[in-house]
Structure 1
Amino acid sequence: FDMRGIWCIFGSSVDTHQQVPSCFNIAHRSSDCFRFENVNHFSKCVFGFYRLTIVDNIYGMQPMRITVVSNQSLKVEPVESGTYEEYKLNKNEKVQFVKKERFHSIETFPKYDVNVNLTGN
């Protein structure tokens, strides 16, 4: 399916059910359908996503699941506002951090590289 917006909360001090309405802030990403999922073995954790139904109908919704395949404890760190992180999957199926970059801060506007050509008709 075509994912258009992902929203999640990990380790919130506020009940996640009270924060679910904020998922609608990404509703403009797709008007077709959305889904919320709790992750039962993590406290205060919920996923939400919007998707388009171009390829499949709404009955083709896929669940999002986390499967722990080791006895290592998982560490969840917040993503700093105005940044994105890039990871890659190694040949041995291990996730490796590649880079973290800032795309804008509260004081600055995002940089848009737009070329506009105006022609008279």
Structure 2
Amino acid sequence: MKLVIFACLVALAAVAHAGPQRGYTDVYDSIDINEVLGNRRLLLPYLHCVLGEGKCTPPGKELKSHIKEALETQCAKCTPAQRTGTRKVIAHLINHEAEYWNKLTAKYDPTGQFTKKYENELRVIA
């Protein structure tokens, strides 16, 4: 019994020491962004999820729950992989999926305050 109480105290101390989560979960960082962007069958469900137009997978739910904050803070809580992936996805949407990019900006940044920067940096001029 003393061992169980000791174990609980150690666990509580570890949680208290760790403090609140400072960034987004990295559990989905291994998703192959290039594969998703290269296959509309994989991409469209994510887009429909974050737009509220379809069902969400667990990674889609996670993305949807943080997308507005990530745009507003320039991905301040993102892991390095998430920052790289975010820029890659935004560039793809701006340059190849303008209709969805416009829907996303209308939903998450209607004034363009946060997304114009990305458009200026990531738009490919043909």
TM-score (norm 1): 0.23
| Structure with a larger share of its residues in helix | 2
Using the size of structure 2 for normalisation, the TM-score is: 0.22
